[in-house]
Amino acid sequence: MIEAKGYAVHNKTDLLAPWTFERRDLKPHDVLIEIAFCGICHSDIHQVRSEWGPAKYPMVPGHEIVGRVTGIGAEVAKFKEGDLVGIGCMVDSCKTCPTCRQGLEQFCEKGETVFTYNSLERDKKTPTYGGYSNKIVCTEEFVVKVSERLPLSGVAPLLCAGITTYSPIKKWGIGKGHKVAVVGLGGLGHMAVKFAVALGAEVTVLSTSPSKEKDAKNLGAHNFCITTNPEHVKKYSNYFNFTIDAVSAPHDYEMYFGLLAIGGVHICVGLPTEPMKFSAFSLLRGNRSISVSSIGGIPETQEMLDFCAEHDIVSDVEVININYVNEAYERVLSSDVKYRFVIDMDTLN
């Protein structure tokens, strides 16, 4: 086994603290990666605190992983030592069912999607541990190539915040001629702004934080609207073709549906812990729809990374020492993040 160091919690009220554990020895198709940076996703907080159903402890969170290959199994074809690579929310699946073969491994029909942490390997026994650690072992099919051109710390959040917003934007063909709102300017939200702007849409940020207006404009947004001010919001009634909702906490969906034009779509990527509450009538008016989107498959993750390299897109990050992680969580919870915390894994040593 390979000894690894990381930060873990042992129950839902625990603070993250140093923990030593083991990664498996390399199997023929495995890649060993020395992790350079790992982003902090709000999903890490939901899971650390067991907010999405019973969590598996000990838990090493982290699914926005970038680093270099330092070892390869005997039959690895896709990578060599020294390659810059990434791992997102998944580390394995059956790879043979029609859905996996379509590149939608998050929906593996055999139920064998293995998430990067808070999950079990396909043997249904071995826990997985995430990226708040110095090294990780993963089958090559779930490792993606990262360009040497982009600042690496800003690439890490693309592995979740990036793909989770890129995927529905592509699915719905969002681009030129569309009026798009991004609800919640956090990790996912700021990536949605960057992608929608890069694809030519008119973008409005709908935010609860007046202090984010300047940043929204710097990210390329055309308009900024404070959702706590009903007068501000009214201006956008029946206006948007798409609203991309990246809010992490329970909120009023009907208010946002009212901002959709005829046939508009409210796309949820945020996953608050409470059930969504709304009346069918709030969508009936104008034949509006609601859609929910789950991360993105491996081929699309590679496509997104290549798109980012081509368009010079990275996440806006605040790089932190790993010993600051518990404070960073509190700041994420109070919407005080600009716009993703990324852990410098050198600080583990």
Residues lying near ligand NAP in the complex (CB under 6 A)? 41-43, 46, 160-161, 164, 184-189, 207-209, 212, 246-249, 251, 269-272, 293-295, 332, 335, 337
User: Is the Cα dihedral 209, 163, 313, 130 positive or negative?
Assistant: positive
Structural contact between residues 239 and 261, judged by C-beta atoms closer than 8 angstroms: yes
Residue 54: asked if its preceding bond is cis (omega within 30°), the reply is: no
Q: 208-240: string of b/e by CB count within 10 Å (b at 16+)?
A: bbeebbebbeebebebbbbbeeeeebeebeebb
C-beta closer to ligand NAP: residue 25 or 252: 252
Strands (DSSP E) along 176-280, which ranges? 179-183, 202-207, 223-226, 240-245, 260-268
C-beta closer to Zn ion: residue 43 or 167: 43
CB of 227 to ligand NAP, least distance (A): 7
**Which of ligand NAP, Zn ion, none does residue 184 bind to, with CB < 5 to 8 Å depending on kind?**
ligand NAP
Query: What residue number has its CB nearest to Zn ion?
Result: 41
Structural contact between residues 326 and 295, judged by C-beta atoms closer than 8 angstroms: no
**Which of Zn ion, ligand NAP, none does residue 179 bind to, with CB < 5 to 8 Å depending on kind?**
none
Token pair for residue 166? 């890129």
| Residue ranges in contact with Zn ion by CB under 5 A | 41, 43, 160
Q: Which residue in 21, 31, 30, 104 sits closest to 59, CA to CA?
A: 21
Query: What residue number has its CB nearest to ligand NAP?
Result: 186
C-beta closer to ligand NAP: residue 46 or 178: 46
Q: Which residue in 147, 158, 232, 227 sits closest to 192, CA to CA?
A: 158
Name every residue whose Cβ is closer than 8 Å to that of residue 240 and which is 6 or more positions away in sequence. 179, 180, 181, 204, 259, 260, 261, 264
- Distance of alpha carbon 170 from alpha carbon 100, whole angstroms: 19
C-beta closer to ligand NAP: residue 32 or 160: 160
CB of 329 to ligand NAP, least distance (A): 10
CB of 322 to ligand NAP, least distance (A): 18
CB of 22 to ligand NAP, least distance (A): 27
**Which of ligand NAP, Zn ion, none does residue 271 bind to, with CB < 5 to 8 Å depending on kind?**
ligand NAP
CB of 129 to ligand NAP, least distance (A): 19
C-beta closer to ligand NAP: residue 97 or 255: 255
DSSP 188: H
C-beta closer to Zn ion: residue 241 or 302: 302
CB of 1 to Zn ion, least distance (A): 27
